[in-house]
Each structure stands twice: as C-alpha cells, then as structure tokens.
Amino acid sequence: MMPGPVVRRRRSLRLKGYDYGQAGAYFVTICTQDRICLLGEPIDASVRLTDAGRMVMAMWDGLPGRFPGVEVDVFVVMPNHVHGIVLLADTGSSDPAAAASGATTRVAPTEVGLPVGAPLVGAQFAARGLPVGAPLMGAQFAARMGVRLGEVVGAFKSATTVEYIRGVKERGWVAFRGRLWQRNYYEHVVRDEPALDRIRHYIEDNPARWDVDDENPHKVTA
C-alpha cells in the first residue's frame, strides 16, 4: 500500500448566499458492514488507505459529475467508515426528512471531537462515536427535479460495492460477507456557516482520534 491523502479538503468553498433553510447541506457518515476495517490501516495519527480506500475516495470525488447540482466538501476515509459533507443545490423539497429519505439522523458535533445525539430510526448507534450499480437518476431528470440525499448515498454505495467486488475478483482485495456497507447511513442537516466549519474540523481531525472512535472495534477505553 502506498501512502496517500485520507482527507479531501474543500475549505475554499465558502457557500456565500447558500440557503441553509432548504436543508441542502448534509454531514454524512457511512460505515462498513460489521465495522470491518477494509479501507485503511491506522498509522500514528493518520490512516494508510488500501487500494479499496483510494477507490472509495475517487468515487466520492466523482459524485458531482454523476449528479448535476451536487457538490462535495470535506471528506475522510477511515479504516471502516467515511465522513463527508454533501451539498444539494436543489433538493426539490423544503422538508429535510424528505430530502434525506432513508437516513438515520443524529446531531452534529457541538465541539470538535465531542459529538452528541442519537439515532432517529434503525439500530441504536453510540452517540459519542458520531462522527457512518447504475445511476439512480438520469442527468436531465436530476437537473430538473433536484436530487435527494438518499439517491446520492445509494449511488455511492452501489458503485463502490461493484468496484470492490471487482477488486476482490481481479486484485485480491479482502472479501466481505453479505454487503460492503451497512444498510443505513447517518446524516445531519448543516444549518449555518459556523456549523459547517465545526463539522469540517471534526472530519479533518478524525484520523487522529481513531483510538477513541466508537467505530473502532479496538477502541481504547479509560
């Protein structure tokens, strides 16, 4: 494995004039099934990505090209999960629940590294550990109707799963059982610029906090 960046920084995107009230900015967490560490190896305060981890990062970077009106901001690949910020220019709905259909919600970090909150639906998920195919929509339809977060996440999970299976067959990647990603994902609506900056810092600092991350199956406890 060659070392490479685990965090994509898009801090130059300031979102001036962005209407947060339309619930179009989301903090997203997606976890591997059973929290298996397939995407990277923790090294000191960073993560050395596997080829699969680099593939996942490339797929995330490609989302804007797949979905008109979608932008991606800061993103990190951890050994068994990813955190990222997704910006939807037009959700087609003013209802956050509709735009994020299929997600489990949780509250974003109140301070860097101190997330709080609880799942709205799905299996219980430790609040302190927050921050987990084919195109789902044609380009013209997506541009006209607006894209929902669940469709973006679904496409990301589908495409990365297909590529991962190819890697298992052709490049000897570690096989997974059942599914690559957990069925649910976790999202939080970003309400304003201070919240955006706070979440950006949380994502960027995530590799350094792996030892105490609740997604870490070998988490260090006091």
CATH of the domain at 14: 3.30.70.1290
The verdict on residue 39 lying in a domain is yes
Label residue 11 by pLDDT band (50, 70, 90): very low
Average pLDDT over every residue of 70-83: 95
Label residue 18 by pLDDT band (50, 70, 90): low
**Enclosing domain of residue 50:** 7-208
Count of domains forming the chain:
1
Cβ contact 26:149 at 8 Å: yes
Average pLDDT, the chain: 75
The verdict on residue 216 lying in a domain is no
The verdict on residue 180 lying in a domain is yes
164: pLDDT strictly greater than 60: yes
Label residue 108 by pLDDT band (50, 70, 90): very low
pTM over 0.85: no
The per-residue pLDDT for 114 is 29
The verdict on residue 32 lying in a domain is yes
Cβ contact 60:98 at 8 Å: no
The verdict on residue 104 lying in a domain is yes
Which DSSP helix (H) or strand (E) runs through 73?
A: strand 70-77
The per-residue pLDDT for 192 is 87
Long-range contacts of 189-194 (CB under 8 A, 24+ apart): 189/23, 189/25, 189/26, 189/96, 189/100, 190/20, 190/25, 190/26, 190/27, 190/85, 190/108, 191/20, 192/20, 193/14, 193/15
The verdict on residue 81 lying in a domain is yes
The verdict on residue 214 lying in a domain is no
Average pLDDT over every residue of 44-68: 95
| Higher-pLDDT residue of 151, 15 | 151
143: pLDDT strictly greater than 50: no
The verdict on residue 101 lying in a domain is yes
